[in-house]
Amino acid sequence: MTTPQWETLLAVIRGEQLRPLPTGFIIDCPWLPNWAGHTILDYFTDERTWMAAHLKALAEFPDTMFLPGFWSEYGMCTEPSAFGAVSSWDENEFPFAKKVLRSVEEVDLLEKPDVRKDGLLPFVVKRLRHLRPEIGRAGHQIRFAVARGPLNIASFLMGATEFLEALRIDPVRIHRLLTVVTDFLVEWIAYQRECFPSIDGILVLDDIVGFIGKNDFLTFGLPYLKRIYSTDVTVKFFHNDAPCKVAAPFLAQAGINLLNFGVQHTVNDMKTWTGGQITLLGNIPPRDVLAQGTPADVERAVTALVAGLQDRSRLILSCGGGLPPGVPTENIRAFIATAKSLGA
């Protein structure tokens, strides 16, 4: 992110009302490589391809924020790989991390990875170190440490169904699993900050939070998110585009001040449930409108979203989740132009 973009983000989080409302999008491997004309595997394995894709997006859409900005990632494989997960790769499909734990009893054998050496983590850091001078020449800085969340990682290590079942049948081991994963995440975020002192934000992504009820969130979600978000940074960004109603009232208590949520709830509802304490990033339909609709469909959706707002503070216009595969250039242009024209 550029310094003016960062200052805009901080202003919105402080509750300042900006006109027009700012726009921003999470971009990573589901959208960026193919949009930029590359295969997903080339994007992951070639630093020049990765850099060129990001620079192309910045040049094409200079009037919006891309979050977290120059995201060094390997899809869902980054953190599970550090625990020994086998990563499966295809030329133009999303990579997948295979299960590590074959039974809940194997949680007892799980060891905390070394964030400096294990899995794909050194590759994440090296890519940014190699390209940091060029990122700076483009007017940007590395602003965020990024990680998948504790429930998300645990579900990859065990399998989502097995993890959710184990919440009920073996909560002691699940607490041990989440403790090991959270200890790892705290160290991983700290190491990213150590490597890149310009970082003053964290982004944690955890859709599994949306698949559990209130009591389970308070027991297995909130305590671990609190530990992660106790990190001393200014922007504490959370992504969950699964249903958010259960968790929303407790996210500010966890320390979160910026939330990207899905399309299951309206902006007005999310503002109510979060007590107006959290800046929201959302939330026109990412697939059905932004990817599969026309520019006119996008214009109508953005116009309707803004027209229905009861409170325009602490809001960055976006889609409900990250940019999905197949979003065309003209639809993003229509989104940004509509937001500007509304002067919201």
Percent of the chain's residues with pLDDT above 70: 100
> Tens digit of pLDDT for each residue in 46-57?
999 999 999 999
Residue 343 has pLDDT above 80, yes or no: no
User: Are the beta carbons of 285 and 323 closer than 8 angstroms?
Assistant: no
Model confidence band, residue 4 (pLDDT cutoffs 50, 70, 90): very high
Assigned CATH topology for domain 3-71+117-145+199-342: TIM Barrel (3.20.20)
DSSP string, 204-231: EE-GGGGGS-HHHIIIIIHHHHHHHHTS
DSSP-based helix, strand, coil % in the chain, nearest 5: 50, 15, 35
By three-state DSSP, how is residue 239 classified? strand
Q: Given this model, what pLDDT does residue 327 score?
A: 98
Mean pLDDT calculated for residue range 191-211? 98
User: What pLDDT, on a 0 to 100 scale, did the predictor assign at position 74?
Assistant: 97
CA–CA separation, 199 vs 325, rounded Å? Answer: 28
Model confidence pLDDT, tens digit, residues 79-89: 999 999 999 99
Give the model's pLDDT for residue 58: 97
Q: CA distances (Å), 69 to each of 28, 45, 170, 237, 324, in order?
A: 9, 18, 39, 13, 16
Q: Are 145 and 192 in contact (CB under 8 A)?
A: yes
Please check whether residue 325 is in contact with residue 31, taking contact to mean a CB–CB distance below 8 angstroms. yes
The radius of gyration computed from the CA coordinates of the chain, to the nearest angstrom, equals 19
Whole-angstrom distance, CA of residue 17 vs CA of residue 30 = 32
Q: Tell me the sheet residues that pair with 76.
A: 74
Chain mean position to CA 108: 30
Segment 125-178, tens digit of pLDDT = 999 999 999 999 999 999 999 999 999 999 999 999 999 999 999 999 999 999
pLDDT of residue 10: 98
Model confidence pLDDT, tens digit, residues 266-295: 999 999 999 999 999 999 999 999 999 999
Coil, strand or helix: which one is 197? Answer: coil
Which pLDDT band holds residue 228 (cuts at 50, 70, 90)?
A: very high
Classify strands 96-97 and 87-88 as parallel, antiparallel or unpaired: antiparallel
- Angle of helix 222-229 versus helix 171-195 axis, rounded to 10: 20
* pLDDT for residue 344 is more than 60: no
Q: What's the predicted TM-score (pTM) here? A: 0.97
Q: Residue 321 pLDDT more than 70?
A: yes
State the pLDDT at residue 138. Answer: 97
**What is the rounded average pLDDT for all residues in the chain?**
97
Contact 226, 253 (CB under 8 A): yes
- Asked if residue 59 has pLDDT above 70, the reply is yes
Residue 248: pLDDT over 80 = yes
CA angle 152, 153, 158 (to 5 degrees): 100
CA distances to 103, 238, 274, 318 from 279, in Å = 39, 10, 9, 12
